[in-house]
Copies of this chain bind each other. A is one copy, B any other.
Amino acid sequence: SQIFEHISPADFFYRNRDIAGFSNPSRAIYSAIRELVENSLDAAESIGVPPDIFIRLTRIKESGRGVSVYELRVQDNGTGVPSQHIPSAFGQVLFGSKYRLKQSRGTFGLGGTMAILYGQITTHHPAHIISSTGDSRIYEYRLSIDIRRNRPIILQRKSLDNDHKWRGTIVEFRLEGDYFRAMPKVLEYLKQTAVVNPYANITFIDPRGRLYMFTRATTSMPPPPKETKPHPYGVDVEMMQRLIQSTDARDMLTFMVETFHRVGKSIAKNFLKFAGISPKRDPKKLRPDEVVHLVQKMKTFDEFLPPDASCLSPLGEELLKAGIIKEYQPEFIAAIQRKPSTYSGHPFIVEAAIAYGGNIPRKGDIVLFRFANRIPLLYDEASDVSWKIIKSINWRRYKATPDMPIAIAVHVCSTKIPYKTVGKEFIADRPEVSREILFAIRYVARKLQKFLTRVEYKQKELRR
């Protein structure tokens, strides 16, 4: 007969590690490296410091059939983790500092912990964390994860003098994997990461002792993303109830102005009139059906201002083109940064670039580069919303044919990227986001069309 049980989130991701991007030994190496590098980039950027990241992957011993036990060590000059939070940050799933409404690479609260968990189940070796927030102490932990209870087990804890006021984090742990199969993707990831984060220094020493240095091209950092308020468009009933629960506002007018992004008094007044709710009502006294009504009206009121781009950190057209130019020296390149838009309360910006010719390979299909919050997405291209949009476009309208050497780059930045997978492989088909990607690609496709028309014209001229 049936046995009903509940399991912890760590147990869920342990049992379903394919879902977190740890399906096989080569994928595990890729996922572990990218999760730690993304944590380090977030950590340095959050204090406006150009990131210095050192990655070392050492082979400890062979396990057979291409698989070995490796030790991965990633060091950064970021914020560091406060001592009391180190065990949970690395030993508990669904714990972190990125649950705010702010653009960052991390979003789920489980990437770093998942990598350590995978290391633990394949090698049983505890994780070694050293960190300081730049104060007078450096903290050193050896941890393992109690997977069934989703909590860290502190095996050792030391506190050391921090005479040099070092600030940063070192994460070191062992895992079983297949680096040599993962290598092309790992190197491609680091290379593309360096391109869209040109202010970062990334150093990688691979198991054969080879040194890869991606030296920063600039020390100037883009304006950092800022925490923002939810945009009223697309807020759902649950979000609305939480906002009502946590507000100090005593009336609906103040609630609308204080709670939402770019809602001033006059817009708030007009909206409340449109929704038929008195501005004097106490938000906490709205009935459930009134809350539903308010949420539905928020979707159809068209006077809300679009989101302000300043809370986000897009690449900018120059940086988006830079990677393609460096790689392919195309004959033609065009880029666009769309105005900010919003889905489910989250502001986002789509940027796209298209390039033709040069050394772009002719592979019978457009070469697509995808980025989200400055992270390169290298897997499952065919499931990504950008790919589907490219496939849905009739390229002949733009004088482009499948045998032409064409490359497209798409970057989406947002307070929350709608990833379809926990492994952050590709972006889901959210209507507002796919619409923006479609418009961005059509815009640059029209620029390509003008170029191809001029080329065609010149060729005709030459033949005469």
| A residues lining the B interface (CB < 8 Å) | 2-9, 12, 14-16, 18-19, 23-25, 27, 46, 63-64, 79, 82, 85, 88-89, 92, 94-97, 99-100, 107-109, 120-124, 147-148, 236-239, 242, 288-289, 291-292, 296, 299-300, 380, 382-383, 416, 418-423, 426, 428-431
User: Residues of B contacting A2 with CB < 8 Å?
Assistant: 46, 79, 82, 97
User: Residues of B contacting A4 with CB < 8 Å?
Assistant: 82, 85, 88-89, 95-97
Leading 7 A-B pairs by shortest Cβ distance = A382-B382, A18-B428, A2-B97, A23-B428, A383-B383, A6-B95, A121-B238
CA distance A108 to B11 in the complex (A): 11
With known contacts A419-B19, A431-B24, A288–B95 Cβ distance under 8 A: no
Contact of A94 among B8, B108, B420 (CB under 8 A): B8
Contact: B6 with A124, CB < 8 Å?
A: no
CA distance A239 to B97 in the complex (A): 30
With known contacts A18-B418, A97-B2, A429-B27, A124–B7 Cβ distance under 8 A: no
Contact: B108 with A12, CB < 8 Å?
A: yes
Contact: A237 with B121, CB < 8 Å?
A: yes
Contact: B5 with A95, CB < 8 Å?
A: yes
CB<8 Å pairs between A and B, sample of 25: A2-B82, A3-B99, A3-B100, A4-B85, A4-B88, A7-B94, A9-B9, A14-B238, A15-B416, A16-B107, A18-B419, A18-B420, A18-B430, A19-B419, A19-B420, A19-B422, A23-B420, A23-B428, A25-B431, A121-B236, A124-B237, A124-B291, A380-B380, A420-B421, A422-B422
Of A64, A420, A428, A431, most buried by chain B (CB within 10 Å of CB) is: A420
Of A24, A148, A237, A242, most buried by chain B (CB within 10 Å of CB) is: A24
- Output the nearest chain B residue to A20 by Cβ-Cβ distance: B420
CA distance A16 to B288 in the complex (A): 24
CA distance A454 to B63 in the complex (A): 47
Give 17 A-B pairs besides A23-B428, A124-B288, A382-B382 with Cβ atoms closer than 8 angstroms. A2-B97, A4-B95, A6-B94, A6-B95, A7-B99, A9-B12, A16-B107, A16-B422, A18-B418, A18-B430, A19-B419, A24-B429, A24-B431, A121-B236, A121-B238, A123-B292, A383-B426
CA distance A358 to B100 in the complex (A): 57
Contact: B12 with A122, CB < 8 Å?
A: no
Of A4, A94, A288, most buried by chain B (CB within 10 Å of CB) is: A4
User: Residues of B contacting A108 with CB < 8 Å?
Assistant: 12, 16
- Output the nearest chain B residue to A110 by Cβ-Cβ distance: B12
Least CB distance, A125 to chain B, in whole angstroms: 9
With known contacts A18-B419, A18-B420, A94-B8, A299–B64 Cβ distance under 8 A: yes
User: Residues of B contacting A422 with CB < 8 Å?
Assistant: 16, 19, 422
Contact: A97 with B418, CB < 8 Å?
A: no
CA distance A24 to B430 in the complex (A): 6
CA distance A4 to B79 in the complex (A): 13
CA distance A48 to B290 in the complex (A): 47
User: Residues of B contacting A88 with CB < 8 Å?
Assistant: 4, 6
CA distance A123 to B288 in the complex (A): 10
User: Residues of B contacting A431 with CB < 8 Å?
Assistant: 24-25
- Output the nearest chain B residue to A178 by Cβ-Cβ distance: B431
Least CB distance, A169 to chain B, in whole angstroms: 13
CA distance A422 to B7 in the complex (A): 15
CA distance A288 to B124 in the complex (A): 8
CA distance A15 to B108 in the complex (A): 9
CA distance A382 to B292 in the complex (A): 39
Least CB distance, A389 to chain B, in whole angstroms: 14
Least CB distance, A419 to chain B, in whole angstroms: 7
